[in-house]
Every structure is written in C-alpha cells, then in structure tokens.
C-alpha cells in the first residue's frame, strides 16, 4: 500500500499546546540520576508531549490525539530521531510515536507505537462482516513463506508467521480496526509481536503499529483501547465526510487492510525495530553492529 509520503502536498507538521511539552528531567525525574550521562543527553533532545496533539497537514490538521498523562507523544521530528538515529533505521516518513509515560525509547521491556497515514482513499466497510479470517491468515502465511525464501537467498534470517496474536476486530460504529500477528525471526526464542491499529478516514487510513515483543502482549492489549480513544479525525477528514463525487475509493476493503503485504523486502520496520531496541539497552553493543540486527542479518555477516 502506498504510504503517506507526499509532504509537499499534505505535509506532516505537528502542532500542540506549548505547555504540554516536557523535558526529559520533567518527564522522567526517576531516571535522570540513574541513566548514563550520554543517554540522558540523547533523550534530552526530545520533547515529550501530552494533551491535544494535532498531526498531519501544513494548513489544517488531519487528526488529533488527546494524550493523557499515562502516555506521551513524540512529534514527527523527534520520532524520526528515535527511529533513525537512536534505533538505527533508514529514514522514513512518520507522523509521530506514542510511548507509556513511565518508559523511555531506551527501555527494552515496553512498547512504542508508530503513527503514519496511508492515503489510499476511502475504504468501504460494507463487507466487513463477511470475511473468514482463518482463510486470510493462510494467505498471509504463504506471503511470509515467499518473503522468507527471499531473505534466506539474500543472507538474512528466515521469518515465519506463527498465527494471530489477537483476532481481527472491526468496530463499525467508530470505524476502527485492530489485529495482531505473532512472528518468528530465524531461530530466536523471542517472538515478535506485530500489533496493528487502523482508524478509517475520508481519504485514507491512520496507521498505528506497536513495536514490541510477545512478552509485552498484555501491556499492548491493555493500551489498545486507550490509543483508539485518543485519536479522532478533524472536521472534513472523518469517515462520515466522504463525498463520492470528489473522493477516491480505495482498492481494498477491511480484509485487504489486514491481508496487505506483511513485510517489505527492504526490511520489516515495524517488527524488526524491536530487535535493535532490545539489544541497545541490554547488551550495549556498538551502533554499527546493532544496525545489522535491524533486518535480521545473520550473525557474522
């Protein structure tokens, strides 16, 4: 699916009330004295935002996140710092990230949630009740098996789709969808959790993906209702604002959103990020060595 990449046409500006942004010391007084000075310096580059956060659009916002005190939001710039500079991933367009208020991006035993927008158009949900999700899972497993073969041929570790970590669920009243997959990279005993949230809008889908391991499944499931309650499209961008005479209709329905390409051959951003996240804090490996782990590169290569 085409991601929301055209920053000139739509933009990814983030706005929020100034008083809602906190410094590292204000957000994490419990860690300021415990972390290494170099880690404090890195984390002090970020603004930790709470309250009303507007995302998307240079002129008017696409959507709003009402972030309570239990969480914080990193805007597009700061999320880019975390994803690319701190976690060692290639640069990518993002609207922001959400974390629990008691953890930093350097913690390995928690989750982060990335927010992007997919401007595929209006997704019809007329047939949302008619899908056989077990059949969809079988198709997805075949896709992953083909991708795994490519990875092995190109000296990357294998990947397998184990099954649903959370069955797909669509809330037709709120136009929100979630599902989760359990994946296995190589011979790792720690399975990857790919937990997906979607909010349907007039011109596309707000994409929210948790970055975590199966060990944090309970935390992620507990946070899912909170995340979905935070988000709302602004006036003119909501699902109900669809104008069939003006707006593009997506080529996929609800089932297509779920069964869409599980991974890309350039890397698996949403589920592979956690590998770097995990090893950064626990093993304290050099950054260049960690970058090889981000795409499941085989040891010694």
pLDDT at position 84:
86
Distance CA 78, CA 21 (A): 12
* Domains of the chain, residue spans: 14-293
Phi, psi dihedrals of residue 217, rounded to the nearest 5°: -55, -45
CA distances, 86 to each of 54, 204, 273 (Å) = 24, 30, 11
Which stretches of the chain are DSSP H helices?
24-27, 29-32, 37-43, 76-80, 133-153, 217-230, 254-259, 269-283, 287-293
pLDDT tens for each residue of 213-266 = 899 999 999 999 999 999 999 999 999 999 999 999 999 999 989 987 544 322
pLDDT at position 261:
58
Distance CA 44, CA 49 (A): 13
- Residue 155 CB neighbours (<10 A): 10
Which stretches of 9-90 are DSSP H helices?
24-27, 29-32, 37-43, 76-80
Residue whose tokens read 């927008």: 117
DSSP 79: H
pLDDT at position 18:
39
pLDDT (tens place) for every residue of the chain, 301 residues total: 444 444 333 343 444 343 479 999 999 999 988 899 999 999 999 999 999 999 987 678 999 999 999 999 999 999 999 988 888 777 778 999 999 999 999 998 889 999 999 999 999 999 888 889 999 999 999 989 998 898 889 887 888 999 999 999 999 999 999 999 999 888 888 888 989 999 999 999 999 999 888 999 999 999 999 999 999 999 999 999 999 999 999 999 999 899 875 443 223 333 344 444 444 433 333 333 333 333 343 343 4
């Amino acid at each position: 699916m085409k991601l929301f990449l055209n920053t000139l046409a739509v933009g990814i500006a983030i706005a929020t009330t100034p008083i809602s942004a906190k410094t590292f010391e204000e957000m994490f007084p419990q860690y300021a004295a415990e972390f290494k000075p170099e880690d404090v310096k890195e984390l002090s580059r970020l603004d930790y935002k709470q309250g009303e956060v507007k995302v998307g659009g240079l002129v008017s916002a696409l959507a709003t996140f009402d972030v309570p005190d239990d969480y914080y939001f990193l805007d597009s710039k700061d999320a880019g710092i975390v994803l690319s500079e701190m976690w060692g991933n290639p640069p990518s367009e993002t609207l922001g990230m959400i974390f629990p208020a008691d953890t930093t991006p350097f913690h390995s035993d928690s989750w982060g949630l990335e927010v992007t927008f997919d401007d595929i158009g209006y997704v019809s949900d007329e047939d949302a009740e008619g899908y056989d999700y077990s059949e969809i899972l079988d198709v997805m497993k075949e896709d992953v098996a083909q991708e795994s073969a490519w990875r092995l041929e190109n000296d990357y570790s294998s990947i397998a789709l184990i099954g649903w970590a959370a069955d797909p669920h669509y809330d037709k009243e709120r136009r929100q969808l979630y599902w989760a997959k359990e994946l296995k990279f190589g011979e790792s005993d720690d399975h990857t959790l790919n937990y997906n949230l979607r909010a349907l809008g007039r011109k596309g889908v707000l994409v929210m993906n948790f970055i975590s391991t199966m060990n944090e499944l309970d935390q992620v499931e507990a946070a899912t209702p909170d995340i979905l309650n935070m988000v709302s499209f602004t006036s003119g961008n909501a699902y109900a604002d669809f104008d069939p005479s003006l707006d593009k209709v997506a080529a996929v329905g609800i089932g297509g959103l779920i069964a869409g390409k599980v991974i890309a051959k350039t890397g698996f951003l949403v589920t592979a990020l956690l590998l770097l996240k995990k090893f950064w804090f626990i093993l304290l490996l050099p950054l260049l060595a960690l970058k090889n782990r981000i795409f499941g590169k085989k040891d010694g290569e």
